[in-house]
């Protein structure tokens, strides 16, 4: 089966039926979107149209994705823009995010969906309006119509995160909000060796912090790849998995940092995995800081990304051109 990637000042601050989720408590409070073992969402017939958003944001100023008004979150800001742009109430929008990123975590390919009771002839105007209402550190990269079966969270097949580490004596000031600074010279060869132990289907209980959500997560996740890429002083750790427990990515990275410092051997990874005990990991490493983490993309079945009939095409933003020079020549 084929897959596809869906992947400061602001005015907001001083015909059809679709399958929709009753999303009370769907947007939980966790990082790295724990894919809980729960029943499929309750499906209601809600009159209207479903729309998919691809969102990028700098998470520095925000308390993660999940809705709360103070301190502000990404979902809260996006919903305020949607309320003004669509003239609908929050309860009618049914906004659902695919990944509940934590405080300070960034995203290039966050995906969300919302509902309207009306169709659009074109999405370029609402796209431009939303970005005009949002602060400059949150952008709607794409907006497209979605089929009724699409669900931003439950339709996801895999998620890709990047974690950046700046490995030099002096930190690059242009990377300070987006990369963790390690003054210790890291051995990337042993980091790659250790990362291989994460790949595959494992019980990651030892790498999960206690969740603030009252659901019981399924600790068994599949990691498809874990690459350690060197780009000069910058190390980029690329992780793709079926889902992640609360702070799982940052805990896996934290252990790799200790291994890269050669404080512990690479074979510590399977030993800690086998314990299924978070306290065992705590003997060697704490969670890596959030600002180095970025949600890059979310992958879905291509059938869930197809455009429904009778709806406008995807908007990637409106560009402007100058047809002729309006300034006089001298």
Please report the DSSP string for 118-150 in residue order.
S--S-SHHHHHHHHHHS-TTEEEEEEEEE-TT-
Whole-angstrom CA distances from 63 to 30, 69, 71, 159 are 11, 10, 6, 21
The kind and range of the H/E element at 259 are helix 248-260
Catalytic hit among 33, 102, 121, 203: 102
Half-sphere exposure of 314 (CA within 13 A, CB side): 14
Degrees to nearest 5, angle at CA 105 with 24 and 137: 95
User: Beta strands of the chain (E only): which ranges?
Assistant: 3-5, 17-21, 43-47, 49-57, 96-97, 106-116, 138-146, 156-167, 180-182, 200-203, 220-231, 234-241, 293-301
Question: What's the rounded Cα separation, in Å, for the pair 108 and 35?
Answer: 20
Question: What's the rounded Cα separation, in Å, for the pair 213 and 242?
Answer: 20
Is 267 among the catalytic positions? Answer: no
191, 252 in Cβ contact below 8 A?
Answer: no
User: What sign does the dihedral 278-282-283-288 (CA atoms) show?
Assistant: positive
Question: What's the rounded Cα separation, in Å, for the pair 122 and 234?
Answer: 41
Question: What's the rounded Cα separation, in Å, for the pair 292 and 61?
Answer: 14
Residues carrying an active site annotation: 102
């Amino acid at each position: 089966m084929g897959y596809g990637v869906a992947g400061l000042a602001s005015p907001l601050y001083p015909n059809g039926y679709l399958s929709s989720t009753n999303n009370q408590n769907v947007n939980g409070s966790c990082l790295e979107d724990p894919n809980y073992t729960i029943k499929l969402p309750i499906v209601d017939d809600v009159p209207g149209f479903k729309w998919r958003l691809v969102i990028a944001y700098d998470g520095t100023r925000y308390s993660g994705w999940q809705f709360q008004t103070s301190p502000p979150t990404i979902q809260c800001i996006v919903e305020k823009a949607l309320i003004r742009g669509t003239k609908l109430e929050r309860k009618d929008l049914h906004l659902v995010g695919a990944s509940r990123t934590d405080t300070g975590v960034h995203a290039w390919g966050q995906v969300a969906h919302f509902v309207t009771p009306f169709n659009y002839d074109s999405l370029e105007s609402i796209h431009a309006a939303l970005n005009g209402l949002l602060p400059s550190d949150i952008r709607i990269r794409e907006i497209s119509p979605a089929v009724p079966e699409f669900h931003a969270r439950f339709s996801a097949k895999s998620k890709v995160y990047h974690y950046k580490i700046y490995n030099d004596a002096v930190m690059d000031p242009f990377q300070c909000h987006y990369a963790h600074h390690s003054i210790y010279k890291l051995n990337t060869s042993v980091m790659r060796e250790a990362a291989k132990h994460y790949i595959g289907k494992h019980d990651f209980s030892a790498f999960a912090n206690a969740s603030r959500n009252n659901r019981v997560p399924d600790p068994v996740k599949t990691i498809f790849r874990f690459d350690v890429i060197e780009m000069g002083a910058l190390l980029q750790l690329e992780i793709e998995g079926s889902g992640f427990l609360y702070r799982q990515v940052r805990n896996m990275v934290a252990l790799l940092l200790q291994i890269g410092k050669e404080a512990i051997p690479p074979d510590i990874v399977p030993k800690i995995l086998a314990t299924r005990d978070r306290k065992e990991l705590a003997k060697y490493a704490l969670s890596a800081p959030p600002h180095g983490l970025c949600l890059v993309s979310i992958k879905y079945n291509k059938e869930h990304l197809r455009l429904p009939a009778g709806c406008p095409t995807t908007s990637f933003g409106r560009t402007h051109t100058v047809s002729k020079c309006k300034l006089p020549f001298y």
